[in-house]
Copies of this chain bind each other. A is one copy, B any other.
């Protein structure tokens, strides 16, 4: 029997408390609504909890990250307030095999920029316009149960260019009423971890109550579950442990037992 997928939904939880228009849509925070959506569809297969910026270590202690299979990330206004050492440990865990799902404005989250190595920039407009997300590969597990496309009646617009490395799989591309397009569902692998970026979402719209959005996030959680873990180091292989017998020659900069220079 497969183990449950341990999911942590991380929410910045700032706009929800400081802006009454956002609070009206997400009175208990966006993270709770996102978590609820995964729980609802995932049933016994998932074990979903939440964490927020305001908790100690943002709710992402070494121990907790070490017990997480898939991390879902929502942040916007407070990207800079996320502590670098927490980002370090998330990155490390992704490289070992944890899945990461980055939502909407999370394109500028430290952890996403860290894993991509690029600007992750976009163009944008707040006009409450219509978005239509097209499925680029109807057989992809993240698109399971989605028709040829789905629509969101009112969203913030994100437009190309999207400053990321070429996605390894393109699952969705968006059409916007105002005339732009955007690569809205993108997959990458980093180390052993799978990373999925999913565009929909804005604080002022009930995006995370939408059935199709919830379906995609749940699909992505299943897709991103670890398939193997690997704890990477930089081991020296002493001469007497070389697979082929060799004789040591030449000068050595390192003493036996040294680690590499990081």
Please give, as numbers and ranges, the residues of chain B lying within 8 Å of A108 by CB-CB distance: 234, 260-262
**What number of copies of this chain does the assembly contain?**
4
Please give, as numbers and ranges, the residues of chain B lying within 8 Å of A251 by CB-CB distance: 21, 204
Which parts of A203-224 form the interface with B (CB within 8 Å)? 203-205, 223
Please tell me which stretch of A35-43, A47-55, A64-72, A134-142 contacts chain B, meaning at least 4 of its Cβ atoms lie within 8 angstroms of it.
A134-142
| A29: min CB distance to chain B, Å | 16
Verify if A3 is at the interface (C-beta below 8 Å from B): no
Q: How far is the CA of A239 from the CA of B15 in the complex (A)?
A: 23
- Residue contact B95 to A179, C-beta cutoff 8 Å: no
Q: How far is the CA of A135 from the CA of B250 in the complex (A)?
A: 27
Please give, as numbers and ranges, the residues of chain B lying within 8 Å of A61 by CB-CB distance: none
Known: A129-B249, A246-B178. A161 touches B189 (CB 8 A): no
| A140: min CB distance to chain B, Å | 6
Interface string of A172-202 (1 = CB under 8 A from B): 0111111111010000111110000000001
In the complex, which of the residues B190, B223, B248 contacts A117, with contact meaning CB atoms closer than 8 Å?
B190
Q: Can you identify 30 A-B contacts, CB atoms within 8 angstroms?
A: A21-B251, A77-B261, A78-B261, A80-B262, A95-B118, A95-B119, A96-B139, A114-B117, A119-B191, A119-B232, A122-B260, A124-B236, A126-B254, A127-B239, A127-B246, A127-B250, A129-B246, A134-B180, A136-B162, A137-B161, A137-B191, A138-B230, A139-B227, A139-B229, A140-B192, A161-B232, A175-B181, A178-B237, A180-B242, A204-B250
Verify if A144 is at the interface (C-beta below 8 Å from B): yes
10 closest residue pairs by CB, A with B: A128-B250, A128-B249, A179-B243, A139-B230, A139-B192, A178-B242, A179-B244, A139-B228, A204-B251, A115-B117
- Residue contact A237 to B125, C-beta cutoff 8 Å: yes
Verify if A159 is at the interface (C-beta below 8 Å from B): yes
- Residue contact A160 to B136, C-beta cutoff 8 Å: yes
Binding site for B on A (CB under 8 A): 15, 19, 21-22, 76-80, 91, 95-97, 105, 108, 114-119, 121-129, 132, 134-141, 143-144, 149, 151, 154, 157, 159-163, 165-170, 173-181, 183, 188-192, 202-205, 223, 227-230, 232-239, 242-244, 246-254, 260-262
